[in-house]
Amino acid sequence: MRQILLVSHGTMAEGVYEAASMIYGTLNNVDYLCLKRDMGIENFKEKLNGKIDEIGGADEIIVLADLMGGSPYNSVATILSEKDLLEKSKILSGMNLPLLLTLLFETAKLEEATLENILNTAKDGISVFQIEEDSEEDL
């Protein structure tokens, strides 16, 4: 079974989780942890350690982080490494709602080609609204 963990600064991870549950429904295999302003990094790492202990038995662990190189990202990479779980884990940065939803609907094990398609779908979710002009003049 696949377990997905969302980690972020502030409440982004919680917000993405809540939005996904409105669209997808119950998220049995998804959890989140937010590094809040008053939490402190050591408290965050302690809670993260517990979350990873809970999901460590999964066949596949997918972590979505808000920012590559940020404290949540670095903390999860360190803890997964310390627990020898990196081999069955994927840590993805740039968390967004299309990325999580695509992962939820993908049931196959995440091989490189599948992962690349998922990342492209998430990137395609970023766009600028443009007004299309009428090709015919008003009479």
Q: What CATH superfamily is the domain 2-124? A: Phosphotransferase system, mannose-type IIA component (3.40.50.510)
Neighbouring C-beta atoms of residue 65, cutoff 10 Å: 26
pLDDT one-digit tens code per residue, 122-136: 898 888 999 988 766
pLDDT of residue 139: 57
Using the predicted structure, report yes or no on whether residue 138 has a pLDDT greater than 80: no
pLDDT one-digit tens code per residue, 13-46: 999 999 999 999 999 999 999 999 999 999 999 9
CA 104 to chain centre: 10
Domain ranges of the chain: 2-124
Per-residue b/e over 70-109, b at no fewer than 16 CB within 10 Å?
ebbbbbbbebbeeeebeeebbbbbebbbebbbbbbebeee
pLDDT of residue 136: 61
pTM, 2 dp? 0.90
